[in-house]
Structure 1
């Protein structure tokens, strides 16, 4: 039995860890059934039976309970709903058991006169009811009061035996049969009492009710109580049945095990529903995640393309670069070209240093704009997809997800600065020899850094006609300038490393932006997994089946 209880407690823990709105409420209701009935009953299968008397509003439950007990143990009247505070009537020998938290632990106990405002279980001692069986007069399960209905459902879920009271005018109501269907699903022992049956109804209603019970596959015992204007009601047959059950320990045990097994089967079916819902959410989360990933992958591709096809070199950058070095020396010998170019560059530094700085600024501005635009575009795509595929999730999500993070401009600027700092480091690391250092010093670190950026960004891909001559030729000038200092292979490696470093930094930045959407998918799959629910449910069912 200890292993059985261990598995049930594991199942309860899994249900309590379900967090998704709506599902969490269903999971708590299932966990409550474990606490209110299944676990306490399995801890003591020979404990007194609990019979819950429920039914439609005005069916006469309280009067019937008083009649069966043979004393006024619960309040009855004409005001609806009459029963607000449930009353549990038990023999003095069983009171200690029902006062303990082993049964309905979530309900506080009270003794004494009924308290219509109390959300508690009233305990009533009566030697007129046999030991081994207790009755609960429950609130109406079709009450206009939400609290009454919820309490009635909680009590019924904790019952070993359901006693349903209905009348000829209410026996066919859907709400009655919803509860009886639930009883059939739990395989619980059910007693149906057709109350207030006059001569006209007696001719047809009992037989029709028996037919309906058979059609539902519900093997319920039916008692018919004739109409009686004043209590007590003629319930001798019902009293005899209940007293006989109380005295038969083997019958009580059989009912207990049958009911607890049926209750657990129904609970595991509810757990499977939760697991299936989790499966659907997991699939949706995966689809959303893939869409978000795609939006930000495209943003990285956009930055890569925009910084690889010469776009950054089509505006002021090229004009500044042309003013700075020109392209006519490309076809001269390297030494002569370097000497001429060095003189030309030197003339700028001895006068105004603005031209090289202007080129650098234009590149920084263009690269920064491309990154920021890509981040905003990715956020807009992800937000749009969320609205189209999961509008409720988007409604609950913060609206700032519709655009890039508020600090995207600052982070993009930091990215550009850090990347440029690494370019300087590449250049300095590759200028180790005295000759290279001298040439680097003669040209200026800024000028060489700008030349490396030009080489990284100037590709003829996507350019046509004169643009090839401008961007491509300018890249050659920058590359030749670098080669006179570092050599062809070193320049190739520097440009490749600079390109990879920029792509990695952009990818990391977009991953940070993508992470702003993580909580949406994570919220769909948080809490107990579908596999954990199924595994714990199956294990618990197996253990109870072996009892």
Structure 2
């Protein structure tokens, strides 16, 4: 691969890594309250570390030599650098501070500052190109303090730099390569980091060839059992120089590729995502829509209307409308006759039906809290099957955000449009005037007929006007009386039909307005916060899926 091709590949990887890190940042943003805060804090630290490393020199590869006391780590560091830079010996710990050897100083300063390497422990291979080591140009080799140090300070520094290094070379010795401290604290934690992890089995000169081969096989099996699927093991000897060139070749390959930093961050990100998806599995498909569909919204509105008694209020209003109309548009004769008949309801002591209807609508309209709660709960439950428990609880809590005040808000909205029971339509008044006009005509017709009978049949001595005594006019007067009665009856029947239609129309109008208002309350008090929670859930899992790739 050409240099330009390698750099293009690196940029492609950086772009992919940047996309995944952006997705992880979204996970961290939306995770509080849903994800273990310890995991979120760890993810936040990874984001900070990744951001810092990607801003610094991409032309340098940080390689850390890590190992326990007596592994020959510092001797191997000196052998690779070709200089006596790091002190060696048997004193514990031999390396108290991290030493750095840099091949190519240009641009390395900020990176060394970020690594917190002290100035007096920085060394440069200015003559590296003259010694035939140009393949290591861009290498920053760190000799870490012993990770099993009895000094807390150096132990902490080793842990910190193992997390920051682009590539870690674990220096193991034949006697302690299975040391529990190394494997438990570090190797198991770096499973999946094969691309940025190398194991140097040092002090190979102390073993016979067959013993060395057996140790390599045993170490390989041990590492595979701990999750390192393809361990890279390089036998070395800092004393004789055996295998050092092989190790240099591995380092040179990483340096030339300029990908170790990205690979390390990708491995860290993969491990972070494994931890997150154990507690928050990535769904195969997004089964929860980000909005509440129209059918569920209608269902919630229906349930809330039932909770506040919208059908009952509409029915009561319709009955009131019909009962009150009797006093205005009914046939006057029938109304007067009804006062002469005993009311069966009174004998049963059921009270006045119209008064009962009035009492129903005169009382304050209120929603039943239990029914409102059940309606909201049913909506949330219908949207959360298969959702992780933490997010299911979050969606339910979002739906119940305003539940405490919701019944009162619904009651107030409905009460504002409750019908006026004393309202009299204009056409009722006009019809009543018309009915009484017909009554007046009827009474006038009876008086006229009586006058004709009195003057025209009985022939009293006092003379009367011809109009009041002409017997031939009597049939016409009777026809007029009958016509007035028929017209009144027809008017009463027609008015009752119009009353029924008007009552139905008033009921529908009232229920429609009440439903509209309840739907608006449901939208603002329940649907909106619920959809916000669903939106967060979808964004979270979209980001989780993107970061997991």
TM-score grouping bracket, smaller chain normalisation: 0.5 to 0.7
1:183 shift after superposition: 3.7
Work out whether 1:514 is the aligned partner of 2:526. Answer: yes
Do 2:17 and 2:266's aligned partners in 1 also have CA atoms closer than 8 Å? no
Distance in 1 of aligned mates of 2:534 and 2:87: 52
C-alpha change, 1:279 and 1:142, in structure 2 (3 Å) is farther
What SS is found at the alignment partner of 2:242? helix
Partner of 2:508: 496
Partner of 1:50: 62
1:137 shift after superposition: 2.2
Partner of 1:190: 198
Partner of 1:336: 332
1:136 shift after superposition: 1.1
Distance in 2 of aligned mates of 1:436 and 1:6: 78
Do 2:100 and 2:122's aligned partners in 1 also have CA atoms closer than 8 Å? yes
Ranges in structure 2 where 5+ consecutive residues have no aligned partner? 1-6, 340-352, 434-491
Deviation string 1:424-461 (CA, Å, 9 cap, x unpaired) is 59x79xx4xx53466799xxxxxxxxxxxxxxxxxxxx
Work out whether 1:178 is the aligned partner of 2:188. Answer: yes
Do 2:64 and 2:161's aligned partners in 1 also have CA atoms closer than 8 Å? no
1:167 shift after superposition: 2.6
Distance in 2 of aligned mates of 1:71 and 1:62: 9
User: Which residue of 287, 303, 309 maps to 1:307?
Assistant: 309
1:508 shift after superposition: 2.8
Deviation string 1:198-238 (CA, Å, 9 cap, x unpaired) is 56x9863652324543876647352244xxxxxxx615335
1:83 shift after superposition: 6.2
Distance in 2 of aligned mates of 1:440 and 1:532: 75
Deviation string 1:465-484 (CA, Å, 9 cap, x unpaired) is xxxxxxxxxxxxxxx99965
1:195 shift after superposition: 4.3
C-alpha change, 1:32 and 1:123, in structure 2 (3 Å) is farther
Work out whether 1:435 is the aligned partner of 2:421. Answer: no
C-alpha change, 1:68 and 1:151, in structure 2 (3 Å) is same
Deviation string 1:130-150 (CA, Å, 9 cap, x unpaired) is 672331123567889795575
TM alignment of 1:459-538, pairs within 5 A? 487-515=499-527, 516-518=529-531, 520-526=533-539, 529-530=542-543, 533=546
Partner of 1:414: 412
Partner of 1:445: none
TM alignment of 1:242-261, pairs within 5 A? 254-256=256-258, 259=260
Partner of 2:374: 377
C-alpha change, 1:409 and 1:163, in structure 2 (3 Å) is closer
C-alpha change, 1:439 and 1:244, in structure 2 (3 Å) is same
Partner of 1:237: 242
Do 2:72 and 2:202's aligned partners in 1 also have CA atoms closer than 8 Å? no
Do 2:98 and 2:142's aligned partners in 1 also have CA atoms closer than 8 Å? yes
Deviation string 1:501-541 (CA, Å, 9 cap, x unpaired) is 2222223323344245455444433458249827xx98xxx
Partner of 1:209: 216
User: Which residue of 26, 34, 53 maps to 1:17?
Assistant: 26
1:416 shift after superposition: 2.0
TM-score (norm 1): 0.57
Larger Rg: 2
What SS is found at the alignment partner of 1:65? helix
Partner of 2:467: none
C-alpha change, 1:361 and 1:439, in structure 2 (3 Å) is farther
What SS is found at the alignment partner of 2:375? helix
TM-score (norm 2): 0.57
User: Which residue of 171, 177, 183 maps to 1:165?
Assistant: 171
C-alpha change, 1:152 and 1:195, in structure 2 (3 Å) is farther
Distance in 2 of aligned mates of 1:98 and 1:341: 111
TM alignment of 1:274-289, pairs within 5 A? 279-280=282-283, 283=286
C-alpha change, 1:36 and 1:440, in structure 2 (3 Å) is farther
Work out whether 1:73 is the aligned partner of 2:86. Answer: yes
C-alpha change, 1:482 and 1:59, in structure 2 (3 Å) is farther
Do 1:50 and 1:136's aligned partners in 2 also have CA atoms closer than 8 Å? yes
1:369 shift after superposition: 3.5
Do 1:86 and 1:137's aligned partners in 2 also have CA atoms closer than 8 Å? yes
Deviation string 1:37-80 (CA, Å, 9 cap, x unpaired) is 67767x54xx5x43221235764534543565442436987557
Distance in 2 of aligned mates of 1:239 and 1:224: 6
C-alpha change, 1:275 and 1:189, in structure 2 (3 Å) is closer
Do 1:436 and 1:485's aligned partners in 2 also have CA atoms closer than 8 Å? no
C-alpha change, 1:503 and 1:519, in structure 2 (3 Å) is same
Number of positions where the alignment pairs a residue of Structure 1 with one of Structure 2: 439
- RMSD of aligned C-alpha atoms? 6.0
Distance in 2 of aligned mates of 1:510 and 1:482: 42
Do 1:62 and 1:75's aligned partners in 2 also have CA atoms closer than 8 Å? yes
Distance in 1 of aligned mates of 2:236 and 2:247: 15
